[in-house]
Amino acid sequence: MKKIILPKLPNKDGHFDEYGGMFVSETLMYPLKELLEAYNKIAKSAKFRQLLTKELTMYVGRPTPIYYASRISKELGSSHIYLKREDLNHTGAHKINNAMGQVLLAKAMKKTRIIAETGAGQHGVATATACAKYNIKCVVYMGEEDIERQKINVYRMKLLGAEVIPVSSGSKTLKDALNEALRDWVSNVDDTHYIIGSVAGPHPYPMIVRDFQSIIGHESKKQMASIYKKKADILVACVGGGSNAIGLFHPFLNDDVEIIGVEAGGYGLSTGKHAAPLNKGKPGVLHGNRTYIMEDENGQIQSTHSISAGLDYPGVGPEHSWLKDNKRVKYVSVTDKEALKAFYYLTEREGIIPALETAHALAYAFKIAKKYKNKNILINLSGRGDKDIDTIARMTQMTL
Amino acid sequence: MNRIEKTFINNKKKVFIAYIVCGDPDIHTTVKIMNTLVDSGVDLIELGVPFTDPIADGPTIQKSIERSLKKNTSLNDVFDVCNKFRAKNKTTPLVLMGYLNPIENLGYKKFSKIAVQSGVDGVLVVDSPPEESSVLSTVLKEYKICNIYLASPTTSKSRLETIINTSNGYLYYVSLKGITGSKISDIKSIEQNINMIKKIKKNDLPVVVGFGIKDKKTAKEISKISDGVIIGSSFVKIIEENLHNKQRMVDNINKYAVKIKTSIVNK
Ligand SMILES: Cc1ncc(COP(=O)(O)O)c(C=O)c1O
């Protein structure tokens, strides 16, 4: 097979060719450059890496295992399904990989206050957890609609000592929580560090979050070889902002492997009620970077729909836009209904309750497992589904 | 000389700039408010182009933008308002202020071409600092539209030089670390920063101050240390408070603008 060599990006201005960049108001240019400098100096030092590795091992529980799902593999055909168990991280999702890294960085930068936005609440919980451990004040912005559908995580954040601020503007979801966090940051740039929860936002966030999440892919590569003596043929991950996906994909980009990102198809791409900018959007500027977005004919950002709060976002990390255009990664979508079916399927047959976000990746992987012969399919099981049981119960009219 | 330069040179007083969101409460009333502002002594109008995700704006302007978007105000509507205003007023400079995405969506060239035809003199794109603006700024220059940038208390000296070298019309100094609608607390440091900006070599750009100016006293003090004052949220608040009585809306805007005007000092 041909060897693929992609350039190392972003460049020094934060661009992935035409995507990415720093599209922010003047006041934020300073803290972004300060962050970039600190990241290059501190986070790349041996001392920082050692400390982070220790925390990820002893506190978070890394490395997470890769589990061979034998029952469903057999049932689906001749392919083999492997699950990278990010759900087994402390707090239940990949989000903590980034939160730990950034809280340690913020500490080193002498910041005394941390803010974050959250959709599903997983990033909020991860950030609140790291802040509790390191004794830093934590404020989390969350859309009112998401507060309603992810109540358990709201309560967890509060228990952890974070202040959760409901956001009632716009569509009352992740996009608006991000707006509000940016507004807070502009007003408190001196003492506050903003931890974005995905590979979205202005440079250097897409790079920083990717680097902290890449541990998923690095571990996976080693584990597939050492434990299973195999190579993955296909990688599959769900894409909201795109952090769990890029975390798995990035170390494999120059390898001979097929890579698939799964967006939220909502009620179906043709209905317009989805959250699939890479499938149905076009390039534009949102939240500090140029990337594929969902916009109307006047350039206004459209409201999105997904059963999963963590995928319910009209933009996507700029690196994914680049990987779409250069065709290295294929981006597909899965509807609410298909995701739900996969949620039940994995739960009932493997005893693993996945997050609704993750269920999108599962649904697509199950589809191709039926079609392909003898392929090793590695899925990023980005998070566990405890936070979603309320939503599921309501849908099945079950009372808890 | 363009209308913006003329205004800064010919004015007896320091320049009084008003910001309102186009299309709130509706485009017809926006034109009326613009005319009222000029009649009450406003020298330059910054017309806000609504965008769904205004990350630099506080609640007052956010709500105004939401009201405007409920009526589907598009860039074409904004140009329509500019045309109607220009039909009667040939002298007051008009600056469009907003976010990049609607402009990208239309296309830089098409945007600039229609803007010039509609009598627009300058453009300020809040989320497009000089680092990201080289293409846009080339196109704006081609159409002789002033490219206005922000400077803020966090702007480093080296970036200030870049900003000044790529700006024309005026420099919009953001008085505080924060969003629109916040309150100014430290006039002394604003003065120090403006003095620093003025000392940058080859800088003959007027420096005006916005964010946080609400009352006569602040307007007066800011006008002493700068080339002009910008008031936004206070005008927008008057619109919000009088949504059901457009006559009173216009009257109160007039009264408020007249009051501020009297407090602004001579050059
Ligand atoms: C479990 C899980 N997976 C995926 C996502 C989507 O985010 P990203 O695309 O950044 O991985 C979330 C976001 O909340 C999540 O909680």
Question: Which residues of chain B make contact with A167, given a CB cutoff of 8 A?
Answer: none
Three-state secondary-structure class, residue A218? helix
% pLDDT > 70, chain A? 98
Q: In terms of CA atoms, which chain B residue is nearest residue A293?
A: B101
Q: How far is CA A121 from the centre of its chain?
A: 12
Q: Do residues A83 and A381 make contact, with C-beta atoms less than 8 angstroms apart?
A: yes
Tokens for B65?
């933008």
Q: Residue A390 has what pLDDT?
A: 86
Minimal Cβ distance to B105: which of A30, A188, A298: A298
This prediction's pTM: 0.97
Q: Mean pLDDT across the stretch B73-85?
A: 98
With cut-offs at 50, 70 and 90, classify the pLDDT of residue A256: very high
For CA atoms A167, A321, A96, A133, the dihedral sign is: negative
| Closest listed residue to residue A81, CA positions, set A383, A385, A382, A375 | A375
The CATH class of B3-263 is: alpha beta
Mean pLDDT of chain A: 96
User: DSSP states of A1-39 as a string?
Assistant: -PPP-PPP-S-TTSEETTEEEEE--HHHHHHHHHHHHHI
Residue A79 bears catalytic tag:
no
Cα A365 to Cα A342, B48, B76, B252, distances in angstroms = 10, 47, 45, 62
Q: Over the stretch A48-61, which tens digit does the pLDDT of each residue have?
A: 999 999 999 999 99
Q: Do residues A297 and A225 make contact, with C-beta atoms less than 8 angstroms apart?
A: no
| Closest listed residue to residue A287, CA positions, set B112, B99, B3 | B99
Backbone angles phi, psi at A388, to 5 degrees: -100, -5
Q: Residue B240 has what pLDDT?
A: 98
What does DSSP assign to residue B110?
H
Locate the DSSP E strands across B22-165. Answer: 44-48, 94-98, 122-125, 146-147, 149-151
Minimal Cβ distance to A189: which of B105, B159, B177: B177
Q: Over the stretch A114-168, which tens digit does the pLDDT of each residue have?
A: 999 999 999 999 999 999 999 999 999 999 999 998 999 999 999 999 999 999 9
Distance A199 CA to ligand 1 centre (A): 10
> Angle at Cα A35 formed by Cα B138 and Cα A100, nearest 5°?
135
Question: Which residues of chain B make contact with A189, given a CB cutoff of 8 A?
Answer: 154, 177
Question: B39 CA to chain A: closest CA distance, Å?
Answer: 32
Report the interhelical angle of A174-187 vs A26-38 (nearest 10°).
Answer: 90
Q: Mean pLDDT across the stretch B231-254?
A: 98
Tokens for A273?
């009620």
Contact A299 B102 (CB under 8 A): yes
Minimal Cβ distance to A22: which of B58, B129, B179: B129
| Closest listed residue to residue A297, CA positions, set A312, A277, A282 | A282
A170 φψ region: left (φ > 0), alpha (ψ -120 to 50), beta (else) = left
In angstroms, the CA A114 to CA A120 distance is 19
Mean pLDDT of chain B: 96
Q: Residue A400 has what pLDDT?
A: 58
Q: Residue A399 has what pLDDT?
A: 57
Q: Over the stretch A321-380, which tens digit does the pLDDT of each residue have?
A: 999 999 999 999 999 999 999 999 999 999 999 999 999 999 999 999 999 999 999 999
B53 touches chain A (CB under 8 A): yes
In angstroms, the CA A162 to CA B260 distance is 43
pLDDT at A63 over 80: yes
**What are the residues whose beta carbons fall under 8 Å from the beta carbon of A108, sequence distance 6 or more?**
A38, A42, A48
Radius of gyration (Cα) for chain A, nearest Å? 19
Q: Residue B202 has what pLDDT?
A: 74
Q: Mean pLDDT across the stretch B209-213?
A: 95
Cα A297 to Cα A267, B13, B75, distances in angstroms = 21, 43, 11
Contact B182 A187 (CB under 8 A): yes
Interface confidence (ipTM) of the complex: 0.97
In angstroms, the CA B233 to CA B218 distance is 14
Q: Over the stretch B4-57, which tens digit does the pLDDT of each residue have?
A: 999 999 999 999 999 999 999 999 999 999 999 999 999 999 999 999 999 999
- B146-147 and B44-48: which strand pairing? unpaired
Contact A22 B182 (CB under 8 A): no
Q: Mean pLDDT across the stretch A55-79?
A: 98
| Selected residue of B51, B61, B132 to mutate for chain A interface (largest A Cβ count, 10 A) | B132
In angstroms, the CA A238 to CA A339 distance is 11
**What are the residues whose beta carbons fall under 8 Å from the beta carbon of B138, sequence distance 6 or more?**
none
Question: Which residues of chain B make contact with A26, given a CB cutoff of 8 A?
Answer: 129, 149-152, 154-155, 163, 174
Which residues sit with their C-beta closer than 6 Å to ligand 1? A 93, 119-120, 122-123, 198, 238-245, 310-311, 355, 357-358, 382-383
What does DSSP assign to residue A77?
-
Q: Mean pLDDT across the stretch B236-255?
A: 98
Write down the domain spans for chain B. Answer: 3-263
Q: Residue A5 has what pLDDT?
A: 84
Pocket probe for ligand 1: among A311, A346, A364, A389, the residue whose CB has the most ligand atoms within 8 Å is: A311
Q: Do residues B266 and B14 make contact, with C-beta atoms less than 8 angstroms apart?
A: yes
In angstroms, the CA A301 to CA A141 distance is 20
Question: B125 CA to chain A: closest CA distance, Å?
Answer: 9
In angstroms, the CA B151 to CA B161 distance is 10
| Closest listed residue to residue A100, CA positions, set A177, A209, A199 | A209
Cα A5 to Cα A215, A326, B167, distances in angstroms = 20, 12, 40
pLDDT at A398 over 80: no
Report the interhelical angle of B233-241 vs B59-70 (nearest 10°).
Answer: 60
**What are the residues whose beta carbons fall under 8 Å from the beta carbon of A314, sequence distance 6 or more?**
A175, A275, A277, A281, A286, A293, A294, A295, A301, A302, A303, A304
Q: Do residues A68 and A228 make contact, with C-beta atoms less than 8 angstroms apart?
A: yes
Question: Residue A258's beta-bridge partner residues?
Answer: A234
**What are the residues whose beta carbons fall under 8 Å from the beta carbon of A114, sequence distance 6 or more?**
A103, A106, A127, A131, A136, A137, A138, A139, A192, A193, A194, A195
Of A64-78, B112-126, B195-209, the range with the lowest mean pLDDT is B195-209
